[in-house]
Structure 1
């Protein structure tokens, strides 16, 4: 999941992207929100300008979803990310944004309010979500105060999920349970739900209550989980290739690339050792996210004559992952299979979700593909 989150402190000129502030308040003629170069380009999309030059374009079209201020729901529309030749910063630009259904939902926004912005896309932004946090909205007040206390002098900053968790925790019960900012913290529960995990479903139902999860949101979560699975395998493949070039791996085969229904992803042999089977279990989130194991994988773990190991890849992104390798899984799988055999005739479980704390794992390793191949 190519996910980047920033906090933008809005100026009076930034607000002119909204029709009310442009047409009624007449706050200026900018009609766009500045996206500061030091965050948007230097950190999030360092090759965006080069990509624009290659494609002979100054703008990138994306879908923008706005939530808030307060408890206002989604407003989705196409917009552009644009940078003129004379400009230092990129801008969120395009049509002036109207309030949906004739409401003036953006009227109470003012200078020094905030936008929490999530950019999706690897090489370039392909979609955005933007939560408006207004000091004039009762539902936003406590969140605005928390943001102001931390980032008062900052125009735009990068946010980690852990930053948002700390902010939401500090706001406590004064922040409504239904506030859209909590959706940004739902990513890992959505990933678990997309993989069939009941823990994620339970957390989402508790947190979102009447709002639920839309069909589109779940579909995107499923796509994102699948993409992280593929990306994790790609990162691991390059890592094994690097180890092979250094003599730490004798040979390996990427099994699932040729057979997508194989009950393991790789077979690997290290010097002086018998070959072992590898199942890459990848997540964009932390190590503690549930591990999903299919019945076919459990059976392979139990009955294969080769050691079967889980390679837990977490915080996965392009060219990077953290890795912990499990102990052989035979004993664990035998225990689970015996439990499943007690189900009534005609009933079977096709998969299980496992808390990683139940399994034995080695120390954390960091995979950084750029660093590894610089040293080859």
Structure 2
């Protein structure tokens, strides 16, 4: 920022730059006084320019020379400025207030990027007239006529560049793009019609042909059979799925998120997390439960959000800002399962703050499902325990 301020100090005031020796009246100021700040920001937001506009506070203008940084201790907060401006306009004004130390002096900078126009106040406020479109012309503020306002709208449409976003399935471990179609093979065990019996630990075990009494000092997890059946059934049915998003354009893709609406809830199911391996020991199972609770806390910050509505579900994934020509990989898996052979074809919607309308991507999953009967206690007992 020091380099930017130094550069601005050598530029003349105009359609993208203004210097203020002192802070705008704000704290305990009248509407008439505070309206000067509103009018200036509206004027810069509506001005014809190619780059960001700056109002630099704490600098004394010098005609024909380097402007003098005098600094100020009176600064606005970015949030309060945003609230003050955007509570009075027809659309959100994109701006930011920053405080920087330059030559041991605190300089305030209001940055106003190029954005959609026209922007105007929706009601009278001090010197600012309702619906008047103010704009910056050289170093003065003017009110636009109808032709100017129409040109603002045309210019925005003609000059707006939108990002081009590519979405593919992804192999997160190997960082591979998998395209728009993947195959999933799974096993579907029928769900038990009745609850399985409680688990009881065997007191006699056979080791090397000898019957040995097993110690039972640790309390057992009496839900072990039920938890083991559920774990095997779900981990065999649900398989991990992930995405990678590529911004193919030369501009930032802002606040990218995707939405998948499922209309096959009878056969296609989704989970955000799989159950953990159960233990025959009640103590070890308790520790695992606490780890699950920690995992749940972490999931509160997860980019993945699954909502259920009736027989359907919706998957939303937030990728945040994506830099030009770069990829963002989903940081974790979600899990899909099909209870029968199914080709799952769907449209996924890609949203971004600087997309005028969502992009649609056709994607599909070929499920191959092997059906098996319900797991019995004998089946589960013949499988090795997870805690051995």
State the TM-score, normalized to the length of structure 2: 0.27
Which one has the bigger helix percentage? 1
- Structure with a larger share of its residues in strand: 2
Q: Which structure has the larger Rg?
A: 2
The higher relative CO (CA closer than 8 Å, separation ≥ 6) is in 2
Q: TM-score, normalised by structure 1?
A: 0.27
